Structure 1
Amino acid sequence: MMELTASPFFGVTLSIAAYWVGMSIQKKVNKAYCNGMLIAVALVILTLSVFHIPYENYYAGGSLINLFLGPATACLAVSIYTKKELLKTYWLPVLAGCAAGAVTSIACIYGLSHLFGLNREMMMSLLPKSVTMPIAAAVAEGNGGLVPVAAAAVVFTGILGNLVAPLLIRVFRVRNPMAAGLGIGACSHAVGTAKALEIGETEGAMSGLAIGLCGLITSLLSLLFGLLP
Protein backbone atom coordinates (compact mmCIF):
# COMPACT_ATOMS: atom_id res chain seq x y z
CA MET A 1 0.00 0.00 0.00
CA MET A 2 2.73 2.44 0.99
CA GLU A 3 4.68 1.66 -2.17
CA LEU A 4 1.62 2.51 -4.23
CA THR A 5 0.94 5.79 -2.43
CA ALA A 6 4.61 6.78 -2.58
CA SER A 7 4.34 7.04 -6.36
CA PRO A 8 3.87 10.59 -7.68
CA PHE A 9 0.93 9.32 -9.72
CA PHE A 10 -1.02 8.71 -6.50
CA GLY A 11 -1.01 12.36 -5.48
CA VAL A 12 -1.89 13.56 -8.97
CA THR A 13 -4.68 11.01 -9.39
CA LEU A 14 -6.16 11.69 -5.95
CA SER A 15 -6.13 15.46 -6.53
CA ILE A 16 -7.80 15.25 -9.92
CA ALA A 17 -10.36 12.67 -8.77
CA ALA A 18 -11.26 14.67 -5.66
CA TYR A 19 -11.64 17.86 -7.70
CA TRP A 20 -13.82 16.09 -10.28
CA VAL A 21 -16.09 14.69 -7.56
CA GLY A 22 -16.28 18.05 -5.83
CA MET A 23 -17.20 19.97 -8.98
CA SER A 24 -19.73 17.30 -9.98
CA ILE A 25 -21.47 17.63 -6.61
CA GLN A 26 -21.39 21.43 -6.87
CA LYS A 27 -23.04 21.39 -10.29
CA LYS A 28 -25.67 18.92 -9.15
CA VAL A 29 -26.59 20.64 -5.88
CA ASN A 30 -26.03 24.19 -7.22
CA LYS A 31 -25.83 25.81 -3.80
CA ALA A 32 -23.23 28.36 -2.67
CA TYR A 33 -22.35 26.40 0.47
CA CYS A 34 -21.64 23.29 -1.61
CA ASN A 35 -18.31 24.47 -3.04
CA GLY A 36 -16.44 22.04 -5.27
CA MET A 37 -12.99 23.08 -4.11
CA LEU A 38 -13.94 22.73 -0.45
CA ILE A 39 -15.36 19.27 -1.11
CA ALA A 40 -12.17 18.27 -2.94
CA VAL A 41 -10.02 19.39 -0.01
CA ALA A 42 -12.23 17.47 2.42
CA LEU A 43 -12.03 14.32 0.29
CA VAL A 44 -8.23 14.45 0.12
CA ILE A 45 -7.96 14.95 3.89
CA LEU A 46 -10.47 12.15 4.54
CA THR A 47 -8.61 9.75 2.24
CA LEU A 48 -5.24 10.44 3.84
CA SER A 49 -6.70 10.12 7.34
CA VAL A 50 -8.72 6.94 6.82
CA PHE A 51 -5.93 5.05 5.09
CA HIS A 52 -3.15 6.53 7.26
CA ILE A 53 -1.26 7.81 4.24
CA PRO A 54 1.60 10.19 5.11
CA TYR A 55 1.21 13.69 3.73
CA GLU A 56 4.70 13.41 2.23
CA ASN A 57 3.50 10.54 0.02
CA TYR A 58 0.59 12.59 -1.28
CA TYR A 59 2.70 15.70 -1.80
CA ALA A 60 5.19 13.78 -3.94
CA GLY A 61 2.56 13.85 -6.66
CA GLY A 62 0.46 16.77 -5.53
CA SER A 63 3.47 19.05 -5.84
CA LEU A 64 3.58 18.32 -9.58
CA ILE A 65 0.32 20.21 -9.93
CA ASN A 66 2.07 23.25 -8.44
CA LEU A 67 4.08 23.44 -11.67
CA PHE A 68 0.94 24.77 -13.35
CA LEU A 69 0.64 27.70 -10.94
CA GLY A 70 3.15 29.73 -12.93
CA PRO A 71 1.33 29.44 -16.28
CA ALA A 72 -2.00 29.97 -14.51
CA THR A 73 -0.70 33.23 -13.04
CA ALA A 74 0.49 34.43 -16.44
CA CYS A 75 -2.92 33.64 -17.92
CA LEU A 76 -4.51 36.21 -15.61
CA ALA A 77 -3.18 38.80 -18.05
CA VAL A 78 -5.77 37.47 -20.51
CA SER A 79 -8.53 38.44 -18.06
CA ILE A 80 -7.29 42.02 -18.05
CA TYR A 81 -6.73 42.13 -21.83
CA THR A 82 -10.21 40.87 -22.72
CA LYS A 83 -11.70 43.66 -20.62
CA LYS A 84 -9.33 46.38 -21.79
CA GLU A 85 -12.19 48.54 -23.09
CA LEU A 86 -13.80 48.62 -19.66
CA LEU A 87 -10.42 49.42 -18.13
CA LYS A 88 -9.80 52.25 -20.61
CA THR A 89 -13.20 53.80 -19.99
CA TYR A 90 -13.28 53.49 -16.22
CA TRP A 91 -9.58 53.24 -15.41
CA LEU A 92 -9.62 55.63 -12.44
CA PRO A 93 -12.52 54.12 -10.43
CA VAL A 94 -11.35 50.60 -11.31
CA LEU A 95 -7.78 51.16 -10.14
CA ALA A 96 -8.93 53.11 -7.08
CA GLY A 97 -11.41 50.39 -6.13
CA CYS A 98 -8.91 47.57 -6.60
CA ALA A 99 -6.23 49.46 -4.68
CA ALA A 100 -8.65 50.19 -1.83
CA GLY A 101 -9.68 46.54 -1.67
CA ALA A 102 -6.10 45.27 -1.67
CA VAL A 103 -4.90 47.78 0.93
CA THR A 104 -7.86 47.10 3.22
CA SER A 105 -7.38 43.33 3.04
CA ILE A 106 -3.64 43.41 3.71
CA ALA A 107 -3.87 46.07 6.42
CA CYS A 108 -6.55 44.10 8.27
CA ILE A 109 -4.46 40.92 8.23
CA TYR A 110 -1.37 42.85 9.32
CA GLY A 111 -3.21 44.51 12.20
CA LEU A 112 -5.05 41.39 13.36
CA SER A 113 -1.87 39.30 13.18
CA HIS A 114 -0.16 41.67 15.60
CA LEU A 115 -3.27 41.91 17.77
CA PHE A 116 -3.53 38.13 18.20
CA GLY A 117 0.22 37.52 18.35
CA LEU A 118 0.60 35.47 15.16
CA ASN A 119 4.16 34.78 14.11
CA ARG A 120 5.58 36.33 10.96
CA GLU A 121 5.38 33.10 8.97
CA MET A 122 1.65 32.82 9.61
CA MET A 123 1.05 36.51 8.89
CA MET A 124 2.80 36.31 5.52
CA SER A 125 0.74 33.23 4.71
CA LEU A 126 -2.52 35.10 5.32
CA LEU A 127 -1.66 38.42 3.64
CA PRO A 128 -2.67 37.31 0.11
CA LYS A 129 -5.93 35.65 1.22
CA SER A 130 -8.13 37.75 -1.07
CA VAL A 131 -6.34 37.07 -4.37
CA THR A 132 -6.59 34.07 -6.66
CA MET A 133 -4.75 30.88 -5.74
CA PRO A 134 -1.76 31.03 -8.14
CA ILE A 135 -0.81 34.55 -7.03
CA ALA A 136 -1.49 33.83 -3.35
CA ALA A 137 0.78 30.78 -3.42
CA ALA A 138 3.59 32.69 -5.13
CA VAL A 139 3.28 35.69 -2.79
CA ALA A 140 3.18 33.54 0.36
CA GLU A 141 6.15 31.43 -0.69
CA GLY A 142 8.17 34.45 -1.80
CA ASN A 143 7.62 36.22 1.52
CA GLY A 144 8.45 33.24 3.71
CA GLY A 145 4.89 32.10 4.34
CA LEU A 146 3.32 28.65 4.21
CA VAL A 147 1.66 27.82 0.90
CA PRO A 148 -0.84 25.30 2.40
CA VAL A 149 -2.02 27.92 4.91
CA ALA A 150 -2.32 30.52 2.15
CA ALA A 151 -4.31 28.07 0.02
CA ALA A 152 -6.71 27.33 2.89
CA ALA A 153 -7.19 31.06 3.54
CA VAL A 154 -7.90 31.71 -0.15
CA VAL A 155 -10.50 28.93 -0.30
CA PHE A 156 -12.23 30.11 2.89
CA THR A 157 -12.24 33.75 1.74
CA GLY A 158 -13.66 32.85 -1.65
CA ILE A 159 -16.45 30.71 -0.24
CA LEU A 160 -17.34 33.35 2.36
CA GLY A 161 -17.48 36.04 -0.32
CA ASN A 162 -19.61 33.83 -2.53
CA LEU A 163 -22.08 33.33 0.31
CA VAL A 164 -22.39 36.86 1.70
CA ALA A 165 -21.82 39.06 -1.39
CA PRO A 166 -25.51 39.31 -2.39
CA LEU A 167 -26.50 40.10 1.21
CA LEU A 168 -23.87 42.83 1.59
CA ILE A 169 -24.89 44.41 -1.71
CA ARG A 170 -28.47 44.67 -0.44
CA VAL A 171 -27.55 45.82 3.07
CA PHE A 172 -25.26 48.61 1.85
CA ARG A 173 -27.56 49.42 -1.10
CA VAL A 174 -24.90 49.18 -3.78
CA ARG A 175 -26.82 50.26 -6.89
CA ASN A 176 -23.92 50.54 -9.31
CA PRO A 177 -23.24 47.13 -10.93
CA MET A 178 -19.60 48.05 -11.64
CA ALA A 179 -18.99 48.90 -7.99
CA ALA A 180 -20.63 45.67 -6.89
CA GLY A 181 -18.52 43.62 -9.30
CA LEU A 182 -15.27 45.29 -8.29
CA GLY A 183 -16.03 44.74 -4.62
CA ILE A 184 -16.75 41.06 -5.10
CA GLY A 185 -13.69 40.41 -7.26
CA ALA A 186 -11.37 42.38 -4.99
CA CYS A 187 -12.45 40.47 -1.89
CA SER A 188 -13.20 36.95 -3.04
CA HIS A 189 -11.38 36.35 -6.38
CA ALA A 190 -12.66 33.63 -8.75
CA VAL A 191 -15.07 31.94 -6.34
CA GLY A 192 -16.78 35.27 -5.70
CA THR A 193 -16.75 36.05 -9.42
CA ALA A 194 -18.91 32.99 -10.01
CA LYS A 195 -21.55 34.62 -7.81
CA ALA A 196 -21.02 37.99 -9.52
CA LEU A 197 -21.81 36.36 -12.86
CA GLU A 198 -25.08 35.08 -11.40
CA ILE A 199 -25.99 38.60 -10.25
CA GLY A 200 -25.36 40.20 -13.64
CA GLU A 201 -23.14 40.39 -16.72
CA THR A 202 -21.59 43.74 -15.76
CA GLU A 203 -20.92 42.56 -12.21
CA GLY A 204 -19.23 39.45 -13.56
CA ALA A 205 -17.07 41.36 -16.02
CA MET A 206 -15.88 43.86 -13.42
CA SER A 207 -15.26 41.12 -10.88
CA GLY A 208 -13.14 39.23 -13.41
CA LEU A 209 -11.16 42.39 -14.11
CA ALA A 210 -10.58 42.93 -10.39
CA ILE A 211 -9.04 39.46 -10.02
CA GLY A 212 -6.01 40.28 -12.15
CA LEU A 213 -5.57 43.87 -10.98
CA CYS A 214 -5.94 43.05 -7.28
CA GLY A 215 -3.49 40.20 -7.69
CA LEU A 216 -0.91 42.56 -9.17
CA ILE A 217 -1.48 45.25 -6.52
CA THR A 218 -1.41 42.72 -3.69
CA SER A 219 1.87 41.26 -4.93
CA LEU A 220 3.48 44.69 -4.77
CA LEU A 221 1.93 45.68 -1.44
CA SER A 222 2.94 42.39 0.18
CA LEU A 223 6.57 43.23 -0.50
CA LEU A 224 6.15 46.57 1.29
CA PHE A 225 4.30 45.08 4.25
CA GLY A 226 6.94 42.36 4.41
CA LEU A 227 9.50 45.04 5.27
CA LEU A 228 7.47 46.22 8.26
CA PRO A 229 8.15 44.73 11.71
Structure 2
Amino acid sequence: MPSLTNAVVLVTGANGGIGTEFVRAALDRGASKVYATARNPQTWTDDRIVPLPLDVTDADSIEAAVSAAGDVTVVINNAGGVPPTASMLDISEADLRANLELNFFAPVRVSRAFAPTLIAADDAALVNIHSVASWYAFGGTYSASKAALWSATNSLRLELDPLGVLVTGVHVGYVDTRMAAHADGPKMLPGDLVAAVYDAVEAGAYEVVADDISARIKSGLAAPIEVLYPELRTAGGN
Protein backbone atom coordinates (compact mmCIF):
# COMPACT_ATOMS: atom_id res chain seq x y z
CA MET A 1 0.00 0.00 0.00
CA PRO A 2 1.18 3.56 -0.65
CA SER A 3 2.89 5.40 2.17
CA LEU A 4 3.57 9.11 2.51
CA THR A 5 6.92 8.30 4.10
CA ASN A 6 9.58 9.23 1.52
CA ALA A 7 6.86 9.79 -1.08
CA VAL A 8 7.19 12.40 -3.81
CA VAL A 9 3.83 14.16 -4.05
CA LEU A 10 2.43 16.46 -6.73
CA VAL A 11 -0.53 18.66 -5.79
CA THR A 12 -2.52 20.63 -8.36
CA GLY A 13 -4.14 23.84 -7.20
CA ALA A 14 -1.59 24.10 -4.39
CA ASN A 15 -2.17 27.81 -3.79
CA GLY A 16 -5.70 27.28 -2.43
CA GLY A 17 -6.77 26.40 1.08
CA ILE A 18 -7.14 22.66 0.49
CA GLY A 19 -4.10 22.48 -1.79
CA THR A 20 -1.88 24.23 0.73
CA GLU A 21 -2.99 21.76 3.39
CA PHE A 22 -2.23 18.82 1.06
CA VAL A 23 1.31 20.19 0.65
CA ARG A 24 1.98 20.77 4.35
CA ALA A 25 0.38 17.55 5.56
CA ALA A 26 2.36 15.44 3.09
CA LEU A 27 5.58 16.75 4.60
CA ASP A 28 4.26 16.18 8.12
CA ARG A 29 3.69 12.54 7.17
CA GLY A 30 7.24 12.11 5.90
CA ALA A 31 7.12 12.95 2.19
CA SER A 32 10.59 13.72 0.86
CA LYS A 33 9.39 16.23 -1.73
CA VAL A 34 6.19 17.97 -2.77
CA TYR A 35 5.65 19.62 -6.13
CA ALA A 36 3.27 22.49 -5.33
CA THR A 37 1.71 23.41 -8.65
CA ALA A 38 -0.41 26.34 -9.77
CA ARG A 39 -0.62 28.66 -12.75
CA ASN A 40 1.45 31.11 -10.73
CA PRO A 41 3.02 29.14 -7.87
CA GLN A 42 3.44 30.85 -4.54
CA THR A 43 6.77 31.07 -2.72
CA TRP A 44 7.44 28.43 -0.08
CA THR A 45 10.06 28.55 2.66
CA ASP A 46 10.63 24.79 2.92
CA ASP A 47 13.29 23.40 0.57
CA ARG A 48 11.32 20.15 0.26
CA ILE A 49 8.57 22.05 -1.56
CA VAL A 50 9.20 22.62 -5.27
CA PRO A 51 6.98 25.35 -6.78
CA LEU A 52 6.03 24.18 -10.26
CA PRO A 53 4.05 26.18 -12.84
CA LEU A 54 1.11 24.14 -14.11
CA ASP A 55 -1.98 25.23 -15.99
CA VAL A 56 -4.06 22.07 -15.83
CA THR A 57 -6.14 23.22 -18.81
CA ASP A 58 -3.07 23.48 -21.07
CA ALA A 59 -1.64 20.32 -22.63
CA ASP A 60 1.84 21.78 -23.10
CA SER A 61 1.94 22.88 -19.46
CA ILE A 62 0.97 19.39 -18.32
CA GLU A 63 3.68 17.85 -20.52
CA ALA A 64 6.26 20.21 -19.04
CA ALA A 65 5.17 19.27 -15.51
CA VAL A 66 5.51 15.56 -16.30
CA SER A 67 9.06 16.18 -17.55
CA ALA A 68 9.94 18.22 -14.45
CA ALA A 69 8.40 15.78 -11.94
CA GLY A 70 9.60 12.44 -13.23
CA ASP A 71 10.11 11.11 -9.71
CA VAL A 72 6.56 11.62 -8.49
CA THR A 73 4.81 8.76 -6.67
CA VAL A 74 1.53 10.42 -5.60
CA VAL A 75 -0.56 12.76 -7.77
CA ILE A 76 -3.40 14.73 -6.19
CA ASN A 77 -5.87 16.29 -8.62
CA ASN A 78 -7.14 19.05 -6.39
CA ALA A 79 -7.47 21.99 -8.80
CA GLY A 80 -11.00 22.99 -9.74
CA GLY A 81 -13.49 25.81 -9.77
CA VAL A 82 -17.16 26.79 -9.89
CA PRO A 83 -18.99 28.36 -12.84
CA PRO A 84 -20.67 31.78 -12.54
CA THR A 85 -24.13 30.21 -12.14
CA ALA A 86 -25.58 26.93 -10.91
CA SER A 87 -28.28 27.04 -13.59
CA MET A 88 -27.88 24.69 -16.54
CA LEU A 89 -30.35 26.90 -18.44
CA ASP A 90 -28.75 30.27 -17.76
CA ILE A 91 -25.07 29.44 -18.11
CA SER A 92 -23.42 30.50 -21.35
CA GLU A 93 -21.96 27.83 -23.59
CA ALA A 94 -18.50 29.34 -23.10
CA ASP A 95 -18.79 29.07 -19.30
CA LEU A 96 -20.24 25.58 -19.60
CA ARG A 97 -17.29 24.41 -21.65
CA ALA A 98 -14.77 26.22 -19.46
CA ASN A 99 -16.00 24.55 -16.27
CA LEU A 100 -16.02 21.11 -17.86
CA GLU A 101 -12.51 21.80 -19.12
CA LEU A 102 -11.30 22.69 -15.62
CA ASN A 103 -13.14 20.10 -13.52
CA PHE A 104 -13.27 17.13 -15.90
CA PHE A 105 -10.89 17.26 -18.85
CA ALA A 106 -8.02 18.78 -16.86
CA PRO A 107 -7.78 16.11 -14.11
CA VAL A 108 -8.29 13.37 -16.67
CA ARG A 109 -5.44 14.77 -18.78
CA VAL A 110 -3.20 15.08 -15.73
CA SER A 111 -4.03 11.51 -14.71
CA ARG A 112 -3.30 10.16 -18.18
CA ALA A 113 -0.09 12.16 -18.51
CA PHE A 114 1.33 11.01 -15.17
CA ALA A 115 0.10 7.41 -15.49
CA PRO A 116 3.38 6.03 -16.94
CA THR A 117 5.37 7.68 -14.12
CA LEU A 118 3.05 6.27 -11.46
CA ILE A 119 3.04 2.81 -13.04
CA ALA A 120 6.85 2.79 -12.96
CA ALA A 121 6.93 3.85 -9.29
CA ASP A 122 6.54 1.61 -6.25
CA ASP A 123 3.33 1.94 -4.22
CA ALA A 124 2.01 4.87 -6.25
CA ALA A 125 -1.34 6.62 -5.85
CA LEU A 126 -3.64 8.92 -7.80
CA VAL A 127 -6.18 11.01 -5.85
CA ASN A 128 -9.11 12.77 -7.52
CA ILE A 129 -11.31 15.24 -5.62
CA HIS A 130 -14.92 14.75 -6.74
CA SER A 131 -17.14 16.59 -4.23
CA VAL A 132 -20.57 15.45 -3.08
CA ALA A 133 -21.77 17.37 -6.15
CA SER A 134 -20.79 14.33 -8.19
CA TRP A 135 -23.74 12.52 -6.56
CA TYR A 136 -26.15 15.42 -6.00
CA ALA A 137 -27.04 17.82 -8.81
CA PHE A 138 -27.44 21.06 -6.86
CA GLY A 139 -24.53 22.67 -8.70
CA GLY A 140 -25.64 22.57 -12.32
CA THR A 141 -22.56 22.47 -14.53
CA TYR A 142 -20.31 22.03 -11.48
CA SER A 143 -22.22 18.89 -10.50
CA ALA A 144 -22.15 17.59 -14.06
CA SER A 145 -18.38 18.08 -14.29
CA LYS A 146 -17.76 16.35 -10.97
CA ALA A 147 -20.08 13.47 -11.89
CA ALA A 148 -18.10 13.00 -15.09
CA LEU A 149 -14.85 13.02 -13.11
CA TRP A 150 -16.24 10.43 -10.69
CA SER A 151 -17.06 8.15 -13.62
CA ALA A 152 -13.63 8.72 -15.17
CA THR A 153 -11.96 7.94 -11.84
CA ASN A 154 -13.79 4.62 -11.68
CA SER A 155 -12.58 3.80 -15.19
CA LEU A 156 -9.01 4.86 -14.43
CA ARG A 157 -9.07 2.71 -11.30
CA LEU A 158 -10.03 -0.39 -13.26
CA GLU A 159 -7.07 0.17 -15.58
CA LEU A 160 -4.46 1.29 -13.06
CA ASP A 161 -5.19 -0.99 -10.12
CA PRO A 162 -3.84 -4.12 -11.87
CA LEU A 163 -0.72 -2.09 -12.68
CA GLY A 164 -0.04 -1.31 -9.03
CA VAL A 165 -1.45 2.23 -8.81
CA LEU A 166 -4.05 3.00 -6.14
CA VAL A 167 -6.78 5.35 -7.39
CA THR A 168 -8.68 7.09 -4.59
CA GLY A 169 -11.78 9.21 -5.20
CA VAL A 170 -12.85 11.82 -2.65
CA HIS A 171 -16.41 12.97 -1.96
CA VAL A 172 -16.92 15.95 0.34
CA GLY A 173 -19.43 18.76 0.86
CA TYR A 174 -18.44 22.32 1.69
CA VAL A 175 -14.93 22.91 2.98
CA ASP A 176 -14.04 26.06 4.89
CA THR A 177 -12.12 27.87 2.14
CA ARG A 178 -12.58 31.02 0.06
CA MET A 179 -14.31 28.97 -2.63
CA ALA A 180 -17.11 28.08 -0.19
CA ALA A 181 -17.26 31.45 1.58
CA HIS A 182 -20.71 32.14 0.10
CA ALA A 183 -22.21 28.87 1.35
CA ASP A 184 -24.29 28.37 4.47
CA GLY A 185 -24.31 25.26 6.61
CA PRO A 186 -21.58 23.07 8.07
CA LYS A 187 -18.13 23.19 6.50
CA MET A 188 -15.32 20.72 6.94
CA LEU A 189 -11.93 22.10 7.94
CA PRO A 190 -9.28 21.66 5.20
CA GLY A 191 -6.95 19.92 7.64
CA ASP A 192 -9.62 17.37 8.57
CA LEU A 193 -10.35 16.63 4.90
CA VAL A 194 -6.69 16.20 4.02
CA ALA A 195 -6.09 13.96 7.03
CA ALA A 196 -8.99 11.74 5.93
CA VAL A 197 -7.62 11.56 2.39
CA TYR A 198 -4.08 10.69 3.44
CA ASP A 199 -5.36 8.15 5.96
CA ALA A 200 -7.34 6.51 3.16
CA VAL A 201 -4.38 6.46 0.77
CA GLU A 202 -2.12 4.87 3.35
CA ALA A 203 -4.84 2.30 4.11
CA GLY A 204 -5.20 1.46 0.41
CA ALA A 205 -8.81 2.71 0.28
CA TYR A 206 -10.45 3.39 -3.06
CA GLU A 207 -12.96 5.96 -1.83
CA VAL A 208 -13.24 8.70 0.78
CA VAL A 209 -16.70 9.76 1.95
CA ALA A 210 -15.42 12.61 4.04
CA ASP A 211 -18.44 14.09 5.80
CA ASP A 212 -22.01 13.47 6.90
CA ILE A 213 -23.67 15.07 3.87
CA SER A 214 -21.65 12.91 1.48
CA ALA A 215 -22.53 9.78 3.45
CA ARG A 216 -26.20 10.75 3.50
CA ILE A 217 -26.36 11.46 -0.21
CA LYS A 218 -24.52 8.23 -1.06
CA SER A 219 -26.97 6.22 1.04
CA GLY A 220 -29.86 7.69 -0.94
CA LEU A 221 -28.55 6.99 -4.43
CA ALA A 222 -30.42 3.68 -4.70
CA ALA A 223 -33.75 5.27 -3.73
CA PRO A 224 -36.31 6.57 -6.25
CA ILE A 225 -35.19 9.89 -7.75
CA GLU A 226 -37.99 11.83 -6.02
CA VAL A 227 -36.62 10.68 -2.65
CA LEU A 228 -33.22 12.18 -3.43
CA TYR A 229 -34.90 15.31 -4.82
CA PRO A 230 -38.12 15.78 -2.79
CA GLU A 231 -38.78 19.12 -4.51
CA LEU A 232 -39.84 17.10 -7.57
CA ARG A 233 -42.93 15.93 -5.72
CA THR A 234 -44.52 19.37 -5.97
CA ALA A 235 -42.88 20.67 -9.15
CA GLY A 236 -45.37 21.71 -11.78
CA GLY A 237 -48.31 20.86 -9.52
CA ASN A 238 -47.72 17.09 -9.80
Q: Which one has a larger percent helix, Structure 1 or Structure 2? A: 1
Q: Which one has a larger percent strand, Structure 1 or Structure 2? A: 2
